[in-house]
Amino acid sequence: MKIVEGLKSLKRQPYDSVVTIGVFDGLHIGHRHIIKKAVAAAHKAGLASVAVTFDPHPVKVLKADHCIPSLISLKHRIRLIEELGIDTLVVVKFTKPFSRMSPEEFTKDILIDKLRMRSIFVGDNFYFGRGGRGGAGLLQKMSHLYGFKVFAVKPVKLMGHVASSSLIRKFMLRGDLRKASKLLGRSVSVLGTVVEGAGIAKGLGYPTANVNPHHEAIPPRGVYAVRMQFGKKRFNGILNIGFRPTFYSPRDLEPTIEVHIFGYKGNLYNKDIEVQFVKKIRDERKFETADNLVRQINDDVVMARAILKAKK
């Protein structure tokens, strides 16, 4: 997949295209449905498939006092979009000056002139351009002028809910991994960089990789059975999110994410890993002694192995 970062880097594309636009936070089943339709239409017509996304999230720029945590980072978003078969991804840096571009100007200068758009797939509740004036309705009117087709895709419903980033965020932050995963169409996961830790877990006999997450929304504190994949190999493990209260006071500390990977001996420092949450085992709690903590970890590992074996 070709990645174009910023509109200043965007040149007129060599092929006519099928375009889809969105923030795509979380890449949930609704987003995936739209992108898959665009990819399929492009393949059928012999055109290029192009996705346009925005970073940071427009809400963070336009309503900084009403900031919401992102479900996934841009890097994670790019990885998931590539898996869906998009040919070119255009990442637009969302700024206040950019927000003042009219939807008519964006459609003509970017979608038509630069991307050579022949058709576009958007959610029927998607809006863009100054004041949020642009949407499927405006695109339909402009399609007669520039000769492209518009496909407004209805929201995807599951379990009686419309798939939305805000609802998934709500389920995820309250620890309802089952519902969040269903609406995502994949496991709840954290993509982050492995950083050096204090070495406490190694001293207890359970060395861990300390994950610095790229995005902001993470499940609640606790111990989880998890999976990871490095290259073509898949690993199981156990993960703790929290403040390590047996060793530290929780005051004024950010929660840490530590994962013990079963059977892995390699060095992961400065590498990106994606950890997929399978099931919560217990809440984090403080133990009177390190020995008591080790005994509990032993029990946690046994339970995690059983959970992961049952969910192959």
Whether 220 maps to a domain, the answer reads yes
How far apart, in whole angstroms, are the C-alpha atoms of residue 119 and residue 147?
9
Boundary residue ending a domain (161, 178, 206)? 161
Number of Cβ atoms within 10 Å of the Cβ of 292: 12
Whether 183 maps to a domain, the answer reads no
pTM: 0.89
Whether residues 140 and 236 share a domain: the answer is no
Structure tokens at 23: 């923030």
Predicted local confidence at residue 246, as pLDDT: 56
> What residue numbers bound the domain in which 203 lies?
188-310
Whether 35 maps to a domain, the answer reads yes
How far apart, in whole angstroms, are the C-alpha atoms of residue 173 and residue 229?
24
How far apart, in whole angstroms, are the C-alpha atoms of residue 254 and residue 98?
33
pLDDT in tens, 73-112: 999 999 999 999 999 999 999 999 999 999 999 999 999 9
How far apart, in whole angstroms, are the C-alpha atoms of residue 247 and residue 287?
9
Whether residues 131 and 50 share a domain: the answer is yes
Predicted local confidence at residue 10, as pLDDT: 96
Residues in contact with 214: Cβ distance below 8 Å, sequence separation at least 6, in sequence order: 72, 73, 74, 75, 76, 191, 192, 193, 272
pLDDT in tens, 162-174: 999 999 999 998 9
Per the structure, how many domains does the chain have? 2
Q: How confident is the model at residue 294 (pLDDT cuts 50, 70, 90)?
A: confident
Q: How confident is the model at residue 247 (pLDDT cuts 50, 70, 90)?
A: low
- Percentage of the chain beyond pLDDT 90 is 70
pLDDT, average across residues 7-18: 96
CATH of the domain at 28: 3.40.50.620
- Give the distance, in angstroms, between the CA of residue 47 and the centroid of all CA atoms in the same chain: 27
Give the range among 17-26, 146-155, 179-188, 193-202 with minimum mean pLDDT. Answer: 193-202
Whether residues 8 and 148 share a domain: the answer is yes
Is residue 282 predicted with pLDDT exceeding 90?
Answer: yes
Whether residues 296 and 203 share a domain: the answer is yes
Which stretches within the chain are classed as H helix?
Answer: 29-45, 58-62, 74-83, 96-99, 103-106, 136-146, 165-173, 177-184, 200-203, 290-310
Residue reference for tokens 């925005």? 54
Boundary residue ending a domain (126, 145, 161)? 161
Predicted local confidence at residue 287, as pLDDT: 77
Is residue 263 predicted with pLDDT exceeding 90?
Answer: no
Give the range among 35-39, 60-64, 99-103 with minimum mean pLDDT. Answer: 60-64
Q: How confident is the model at residue 201 (pLDDT cuts 50, 70, 90)?
A: low
Whether 141 maps to a domain, the answer reads yes
Whether residues 45 and 156 share a domain: the answer is yes
pLDDT, average across residues 134-155: 95
Boundary residue ending a domain (94, 126, 161)? 161
Whether 166 maps to a domain, the answer reads no
Whether residues 192 and 151 share a domain: the answer is no
Q: How confident is the model at residue 189 (pLDDT cuts 50, 70, 90)?
A: very high
Predicted local confidence at residue 16, as pLDDT: 97
Is residue 250 predicted with pLDDT exceeding 70?
Answer: no
Whether residues 113 and 245 share a domain: the answer is no
- Of 88, 94, 101, 102, nearest in space to 16 by CA: 88
Is residue 311 predicted with pLDDT exceeding 60?
Answer: yes
Predicted local confidence at residue 252, as pLDDT: 44
pLDDT in tens, 211-241: 998 877 889 999 999 999 877 788 999 999 9
Predicted local confidence at residue 255, as pLDDT: 78
- Of 104, 94, 81, nearest in space to 20 by CA: 81
Q: What is the mean pLDDT of the chain?
A: 90
Number of Cβ atoms within 10 Å of the Cβ of 112: 18
Number of Cβ atoms within 10 Å of the Cβ of 195: 13
pLDDT, average across residues 26-43: 97
CATH of the domain at 271: 2.40.30.30
